[in-house]
Structure 1
Amino acid sequence: MTTMTATTVAATRVSWVRYAALAAKVLLFGLLLSALIWPDLSGIKGKASTARLVVYPIGAMILPLWWLAYGRTKSKLHQSFPWTADLLMTLPWLIDLIGNRFNLFDTVDWWDDAMHFILWGFLTAGVLLAFAPRNLSRGLTAFVALGFGATAAVVWEVGEYFAFIHSSPELQSAYTDTLGDLALGTLGALLAGLILYQVRVTPRH
């Protein structure tokens, strides 16, 4: 592959990811706005809807805000905005809202478990891609992924408990469900770290 062709392919990839990240944010904020206007149709009524309406925009915008305030000026390589990381850090909030809107968490038995595994993988991959040095070894990448993923999973489960589970019928099965969610989220984070390491060390042609 010639240098010009490789540059064109890279530019096309960046453009596609940028548009996907922006589209994900537009859809996310559209769903949040509709939840404010029609709360009964949002799928998050009775599931800490107020907390979600606050936390989800923060989660989706934390990387752009960090980049504007700090990353853009401190980037040693004068890199462009990390759109792939931004997309990966936006998708968990968007997919969770879509799952709630279509009531998949309550009607599909395996949906909640799958989401804890997959979405924590997306979030961890995005965070590592944005903030972790590229030269980390496989072992260090795994430890960082586990550290972030497990900590974030604990924070999420504690937040869920105080936001709505402690006063809902789900309290009866909360202990078992929480243990499963923590395990799946941590495994998803570990897998994401290992995949990201492999992608980074694989030569591009």
Structure 2
Amino acid sequence: MNRVRWWVPVLILALTVGQLAVAEWVPGIDRFADKAFGARLLAYPAMMLLVPAIWWLVVKRRRPDAPPPYGAFSLVMLGFLVDVTGNSLDLYDSVTWWDDMNHFVNWFFLLSGIGLLIAGPVRPGWARVLMIVGLGAVLAIGWELGEWYTFIRHGTEIDTAYEDTLGDEVLGTLGALCAGLLVARGLRESDTVR
């Protein structure tokens, strides 16, 4: 986790914001229409920077010599880049399984990063998994509420929103489960080495 350099999360943030800016301010690109890119341009960078900001406020205040976990920060941010890139490449409309895969993989990234940051002191290993999965399920529900509020409730997807929302929440939770299992195993191995 500490082998990732500072510029990796900065690059992920810059690539995400750059694509969001194109989606919002370059006219005439149909694939960006009615997908709340104005809201995303504000919300995505804020959400991407929330975890590093909390880490700096909580951990750096207590332990000024603690090295920043740029790997965990990168994992938290990576899902936002994948989401925006999927829109930029028109994968949501041209690849039928893209949205489903996105929810699974992005929750895996997000909860792997968060899990690496918060699960270390949690014992036993099954409690680590349960904490990460539970947090992933709550975040999946919150995400779907945000999607509904920003572009589904008044958009063209309202007829299929219920089934899609349930599927997205399940896939996000399964991604969190995989992240929880991987993080718990990795932390168990690092506990053994110490």
Q: Tell me, yes or no, whether TM beats 0.5.
A: yes
**Identity between Structure 1 and Structure 2 (%):** 35
Structure 2 letter corresponding to 1:14: V
Mapped partners of 2:44, 2:155: distance in 1: 22
* Residue segments in structure 1 that go unaligned for 5+ positions in a row: 1-9
1:193 aligns with 2:183: no
Mapped partners of 1:63, 1:39: distance in 2: 32
SS of the aligned residue for 2:182 comes to helix
Aligned residues: 192
Q: 1:132 aligns with which of 116, 119, 139?
A: 119
SS of the aligned residue for 1:152 comes to helix
Mapped partners of 1:94, 1:84: distance in 2: 15
Mapped partners of 1:57, 1:42: distance in 2: 23
Larger Rg: 1
Structure 2 letter corresponding to 1:140: A
1:30 aligns with 2:18: yes
Q: Decide whether aligned partners of structure 1 residues 199 and 156 sit closer, same or farther in structure 2, where only a CA change above 3 A counts.
A: same
Structure 2 letter corresponding to 1:58: A
Measured after TM superposition, the shift of residue 107 of structure 1 is: 0.9
Asked whether the equivalents of residues 92 and 123 of structure 1 are also in contact (C-alpha less than 8 Å), the reply is yes
Could you say what the CA RMSD is over the residues aligned between the two structures, in angstroms? Answer: 2.2
Mapped partners of 1:166, 1:132: distance in 2: 36
Measured after TM superposition, the shift of residue 65 of structure 1 is: 1.8
Q: Decide whether aligned partners of structure 1 residues 198 and 52 sit closer, same or farther in structure 2, where only a CA change above 3 A counts.
A: same
1:111 aligns with 2:101: no
Measured after TM superposition, the shift of residue 38 of structure 1 is: 1.0
Alignment match, 1:172: 159
Measured after TM superposition, the shift of residue 134 of structure 1 is: 4.1
Asked whether the equivalents of residues 20 and 37 of structure 2 are also in contact (C-alpha less than 8 Å), the reply is no
Under a length normalisation based on structure 1, what TM-score does the superposition of the two structures give? 0.85
Q: Decide whether aligned partners of structure 1 residues 64 and 43 sit closer, same or farther in structure 2, where only a CA change above 3 A counts.
A: farther
Mapped partners of 1:78, 1:128: distance in 2: 21
Alignment match, 1:161: 148
Measured after TM superposition, the shift of residue 79 of structure 1 is: 1.8
* Residue segments in structure 2 that go unaligned for 5+ positions in a row: none
Alignment match, 1:4: none
Mapped partners of 1:98, 1:42: distance in 2: 15
Measured after TM superposition, the shift of residue 22 of structure 1 is: 2.1
Measured after TM superposition, the shift of residue 64 of structure 1 is: 2.5
Q: 1:51 aligns with which of 39, 54, 59?
A: 39
> Superposition pairs for residues 140-155 of structure 1, below 5 Å?
140-155=127-142
Mapped partners of 2:91, 2:72: distance in 1: 26
Structure 1 letter corresponding to 2:32: I
Measured after TM superposition, the shift of residue 39 of structure 1 is: 5.0
Under a length normalisation based on structure 2, what TM-score does the superposition of the two structures give? 0.89
Measured after TM superposition, the shift of residue 36 of structure 1 is: 3.3
Structure 1 letter corresponding to 2:4: V
